[in-house]
Structure 1
Amino acid sequence: MELIREDYLKLIRPYYDVDLIKVITGARRSGKSVLMETIKDEILSRGGKGSHIISINFEDLDYSFITDANELHAEIKSHIVDDDKYYIFLDEIQHIENFEKLLASLRSKFNCSIFVTGSDSTMLSGELATLLTGRTVEFEIFPFSFKESVDFLALNKIECEPNEFIKDYIKWGGFPLRFSFKEENSIKRFLDNLYSNIINRDIIKKSSKIDRQAFKDISLYIMSNAGKEFSAENIARYYSQKNKKSVSARTIYNYLEKLQKAYLLHSCKKYNIVGKTALDTSDKFYATDTGLRTLNTNTINYEDTFFLENIIYNELLIQGFTVFTGKTYKGEIDFVAVKENKKCFIQVAYLLATEETIKREFGAYDKITDASPKYVLSLDRIDLSHDGIEHLNIVDFLLHKVSLHLS
């Protein structure tokens, strides 16, 4: 059974009949098409007419005859026979040349509500931005969160104990189709094929000069080191030495940009805690899904906090926070989570198993005078809160049993 992704639907529902183009973005196979089907079902349940829903998926061979905006315009126009409202769903619209002009034309000529999906962040830039300034609203869809994964397994009557499942989620992430496989080899093969497909269709196809193997090797290295300090120079040096093949830091930055455009990575900018200002620099990047982070990792060290950081970072984005890395004079706070001009600070740890670990994680706040709430998140079940710093269990946080307070 398919999961109803209520958290996203709550955000999109207010726009069902609003004259804005609803742009649903995210990595391939993150669930955009299924979400579109759910939206169609809801519109029908509210009294919408099936004959007034026009739906085209550009990865469906039935529509391979449509290659440009003029052909698509003619196809859509042939289904519009009256002045009542039509709901138009266009899946993976980036495949259509000059789709921006088509969307502008549909908005101006017909009584319609338009929903589009895409796997390329540049959809919302360039000509689309020029033609439709102020007429689009974007919703980025992630693979299943931890809570959605637990709910999906329960819905399909698959046994899942959250405190045990967290290790599986750390390793294999939440791409919906990966739950179709039980064996780890099958899951890894699926993720590897998915990653290759994204590279071939969304990156290499558009940049034929890219060395396919070099891009895959370097991008997987970047992905497997997500959350760590990023240095293009160090990555270029490492790759060149390992493969006896020179690559420049500029090429690394080029690859990094393409990974972000394909929604495989997100950048985390710095926040100057002392000056209370966001800095226009990024020195950390996090993978959209930890399953992709695992592809280039032979073994998983569950005490590697970077995996948990990655999951917390994505969860914060899903919950609507703007997330930064906190910089102090002499150190760093894992995250500064901001929403509606309020914030809190977050440290992430695997287990607070020793006094040294407790002192390190809680001690990160010693020099911070900002009164905003301070949290340490770990997998421990014992509440170790002290000195005004609140300790939360990661599983409880991911299941929304506890929440963050901001000030």
Structure 2
Amino acid sequence: MNEIKQVLVDQKVRLERKFEKERIIERDTPNLKKYLSQPNVLAILGVRRSGKSTLAEMLLRGENFGYINFDDDRLAGIKVEDLHKLEKAIYELFGEVEYFLFDEIHNVDGWELFVSRLREEGKKIVITGSNSKMLSGELATTLTGRHINFTLFPFSFSEYLRFKGVRIEKVKNTYTTSSEGIIKRELENYMREGGFPEVLKISEDFIFTIFSDIVYKDIVQRLKIKRIELFRSFAVNIIKYFSNEVSLSRLSKTLKLSNNTVEEWFNGLINAYIIITSERFTGKPREGMTSPKKVYVIDPGFISSIALDNSKGRIMENLVALQLSRMGEKLFYVKGNNYEIDFLVRDKAIQVTYASGKDEIPKREIEGLNKIKARKKIVITWDYEDEMQEIKFVPIWKFLLNTQEYF
């Protein structure tokens, strides 16, 4: 028991020290604490190192809460029957706590019933996890209607600017000339560095550590993949498909792997939040399910450092996909005869193109919008703004900073 207490004290002190020594910013999230106004479970999910535990601690700051990080090597191999020992140690150390914060608790098989019991005893619980399937087991059935899940991404562009301490001056919707210049310069940096907090705090090279941790801890170990180097190569190649369609059947032939293996590996990347996908929109549901999906990467830092690609048009499209996903939108694309629509979100059709002037916008972008019915039609450009023929042209930096205005 003394060893367990030592681990818990070390973890709590380390968490507190983070707020004393590191730069912490408010995240652009809804009021998540309202979901804990009564005994409930709030699951903060997302890619590893995106700031989930920091966000959770910010929610509980000022409260007396018990904290356990199950990614600690000293807790490796812990069994579900041992969780009550951790619970007892928390009460002995911190008294009668009302809140619990469990980091990466899905590392423990059978954790769902433990969390369910705590909630039934009137506790308010925050759990974090780097696997989207962590709520697909017993917790989803045992706590039907009694848990809320929220997906946290790496820093958005607005959060990136806040972290960098960039002050933006504007009157209503008009930015000062100097602010606009600074924003555009920082957008170039953001497209290269990405939004992982530790990359911005430590070094751009830290992106490789994050990628390796996700690949090995969140996919290889969970799926028990034996051909590790082949899988890593597969993951890198999928990232290189960003903003493009990917055919899993074609990949299986190229890699000489079974369709089942390729599908399992691909879903592993999705579940670990390395990639998100967009489904082809069609009037025939089966056709949409069997059509190739478009792939987007969770952070632009992976694109510049892992895929070694600086294609601005495709990176812009990837940024738009991430921004829409942050808003909770399900992504669809349209592929018709001789035209494509990058995003169809609810009743809005969105195209993305790297253009700084009217003459640089490819005709196919406008022609595609003219062939589809949508309440709003938007072309996101690099630096061109206008409105004509019911189509709004918006610079990407404005879209990223004021997305709600266009919805």
Which band: TM-score by shorter chain? 0.7 to 0.9
Which residue of the other structure, out of 331, 347, 352, is the alignment partner of 1:348? 352
The code of the aligned residue for 1:203 comes to: I
Q: 1:295 to 1:218 in 2, by over 3 A?
A: farther
1:57 and 2:69 aligned: yes
- Residue 396 (structure 2) aligns with: 394
Taking the aligned partners of 2:210 and 2:197, their CA distance within structure 1 comes to 12
C-alpha distance in 2 between matches for 1:202 and 1:291: 19
2:151 alignment partner in structure 1: 140
Partner of 2:236: 220
- Residues 131 and 390 (structure 1), Cα distance of their counterparts in 2 relative to 1, 3 Å cut: same
Residue 243 (structure 1) aligns with = none
By how many angstroms is 1:371 displaced?
4.3
> What one-letter code is carried by the residue in structure 1 that aligns with 2:133?
T
Q: How does 1:160-179 map to 2 (within 5 A)?
A: 161-179=182-200
Between the aligned partners of 1:314 and 1:374, the Cα distance in structure 2 is 19
User: Out of 63, 66, 71, which is 2:82 matched to?
Assistant: 71
2:50 corresponds in structure 1 to: 30
CA–CA distance in structure 1, aligned partners of residues 285 and 405 of structure 2: 23
Tell me which of 373, 377, 380 is aligned to 2:376. Answer: 373
Q: Give the counterpart letter for 1:265 in structure 2.
A: I
Alignment match of 2:272 (pick from 251, 259, 262) = 262
Shift in Å, 1:260: 0.8
Change beyond 3 A, Cα 1:336–1:205: same
Q: Deviations over 1:259-310 (max 9, x none)?
A: 01111111211223x78999445511211112122334335233xx221111
Normalising by structure 1, we get a TM-score of 0.83
Q: Deviations over 1:177-218 (max 9, x none)?
A: 11124xxxx51x311121111111112222334311100111
1:197 partnered with 2:213:
yes
C-alpha spacing 1:88/1:222, structure 2 compared with 1 (3 Å): same
Residues 338-381 of structure 1 deviation map (CA, whole Å, 9 limit, x = unaligned) = 3xxxx21110111154636342222211222x24110000111x
Q: Are 1:106 and 2:114 matched, yes or no?
A: no
The 1:72–1:227 alpha-carbon spacing in structure 2 relative to 1, beyond 3 Å, is: same
2:27–2:159 Cα contact (<8 Å) kept: no
Distance 1:402 1:127 in 2: 36
> What residue is the counterpart of 1:334 in the other structure?
342
**1 or 2, which has the higher helix percentage?**
2
Query: Which segments of 5 or more consecutive residues in structure 1 lack a partner in the other structure?
Result: 241-245
- 1:84: Cα distance to partner? 6.9
Question: Does 1:309 pair with 2:317?
Answer: yes
- The residue number in structure 2 matching 1:324 is 332
State the AA in 2 paired with 1:309. Answer: E
2:172 alignment partner in structure 1:
none
Distance 1:237 1:162, change over 3 A: farther
Alpha-carbon distance in structure 2 between the residues aligned to 1:253 and 1:353: 41
- Contact 1:326 1:334 survives alignment (8 Å): yes
Residue 76 and residue 125 in structure 1: after superposition, are their counterparts in 2 closer, same or farther (change >3 A)? same
Aligned to 1:129: 140
SS of the residue aligned with 1:122? helix
CA distance in 2, matches of 1:390, 1:130: 45
Aligned equivalents of 1:125 and 1:111: distance in 2?
23
| Aligned 8 A contact 2:71 2:104 in 1 | yes
8 Å contact kept, 2:339–2:364:
no
Amino acid at match of 1:204: V
Deviation at 1:155, TM superposition (A): 6.9
AA partner of residue 306 (structure 1): R
TM-score by length of 2: 0.83
Unaligned runs of at least 5 residues, structure 2: 1-21, 168-178
CA RMSD of aligned residues (A): 2.8
Residues 396, 402 of structure 1: 8 Å contact kept: no
Q: Does the Cα contact within 8 Å between 1:4 and 1:38 map onto a contact in 2?
A: no
TM-fit CA distance, 1:7:
2.3
Structure 1 runs (4+) greater than 6 angstroms displaced: 81-85, 274-278
Q: Which amino acid aligns with 1:54?
A: G
Find the partner of 1:96 among 108, 111, 117.
108
1:367-396 deviations in Å (ceiling 9; x for gaps): 22x24110000111x423211101111101
Q: CA–CA distance in 1 between the matches of 2:196 and 2:27?
A: 17
* 1:21 counterpart residue number: 41
Q: 1:107 deviation in Å?
A: 1.6
Q: Hey, what's the Cα distance between the residues in 2 that align with 1:354 and 1:379?
A: 11
CA distance in 2, matches of 1:265, 1:124: 19
